[in-house]
C-alpha cells in the first residue's frame, strides 16, 4: 500500500504547464514577428487610404461632369460661360457644390474639396484633400484629334 501512495504522489507532483523559459521564448518570437509586420501593415493602410481618396476624387469628377453636362442643355442653369468656377466663397454657388457632393456621395466632406473649375462645360481642374494625400485633377488640351483632352490625377502625400 505504501508503494501505491508513493506512485500517486510522484504523479501528482508533476508540474503541468510551461516553464518560464518556454514562455519567454514564445514572447520573443512574437515580438520579432510584430516588429516585422507592423511597418508593412502601416504601408498597406496608407496605400488603401490613397486608393480610397482617388476613388472619391473620381466620384467628384463624375458628379461634377454630370451636373455640367446637364447645365449645358439647360438655359436657366447658373452654370454659364466658357469658364466657370465653383467655390464656397460665393454664397450663391454653394447649392451647386452641395449637389455635386451629394451626387458623389461625399456630403460630409465639403471642406475637403477645393475650387472646381469648368471650361466649356467640362471639368478642367479641382483639388481634393484628405489627411494622407492631396489629389489634383487637371485636364488639358492635347492628344490626337480635335477637341481631345489629356487628363489625370496627381497624388501628393501630405
Number of domains in the chain: 1
Does 91 fall in a domain?
yes
Does 132 fall in a domain?
yes
pTM listed for this prediction: 0.71
Does 8 fall in a domain?
no
Residue % of the chain over a pLDDT of 90: 37
Does 13 fall in a domain?
no
Does 115 fall in a domain?
yes
* Average pLDDT estimate for 142-149: 58
Share in percent of the chain as helix, strand, coil (round to 5)? 55, 20, 25
In the prediction, which pLDDT does 20 show? Answer: 93
Does 69 fall in a domain?
yes
Helices (H), the chain: 2-13, 20-72, 94-103
Lowest mean per-residue pLDDT among 39-48, 98-107, 121-130, 148-157: 148-157
Does 82 fall in a domain?
yes
Does 124 fall in a domain?
yes
pLDDT (tens digit per residue) in 102-132: 999 988 888 888 889 888 888 899 999 998 8
Give the residue numbers spanning the domain of 105: 18-157
Amino acid at each position: 500500500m505504501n508503494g501505491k501512495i508513493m506512485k500517486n504522489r510522484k504523479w501528482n507532483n508533476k508540474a503541468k504547464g510551461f516553464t518560464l523559459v518556454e514562455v519567454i521564448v514564445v514572447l520573443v518570437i512574437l515580438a520579432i514577428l510584430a516588429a516585422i509586420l507592423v511597418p508593412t501593415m502601416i504601408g498597406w493602410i496608407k496605400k488603401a487610404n490613397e486608393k480610397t481618396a482617388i476613388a472619391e476624387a473620381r466620384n467628384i469628377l463624375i458628379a461634377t461632369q454630370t451636373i455640367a453636362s446637364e447645365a449645358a442643355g439647360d438655359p436657366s442653369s447658373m452654370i454659364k460661360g466658357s469658364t466657370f468656377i465653383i467655390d464656397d466663397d460665393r454664397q450663391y454657388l454653394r447649392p451647386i457644390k452641395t449637389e455635386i457632393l451629394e451626387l458623389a456621395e461625399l456630403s460630409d466632406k465639403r471642406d475637403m474639396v477645393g475650387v472646381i473649375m469648368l471650361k466649356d462645360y467640362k471639368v478642367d481642374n479641382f483639388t481634393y484633400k484628405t489627411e494622407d494625400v492631396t489629389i489634383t485633377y487637371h485636364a488639358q488640351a492635347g492628344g490626337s484629334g480635335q477637341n481631345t483632352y489629356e487628363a489625370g490625377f496627381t497624388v501628393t502625400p501630405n
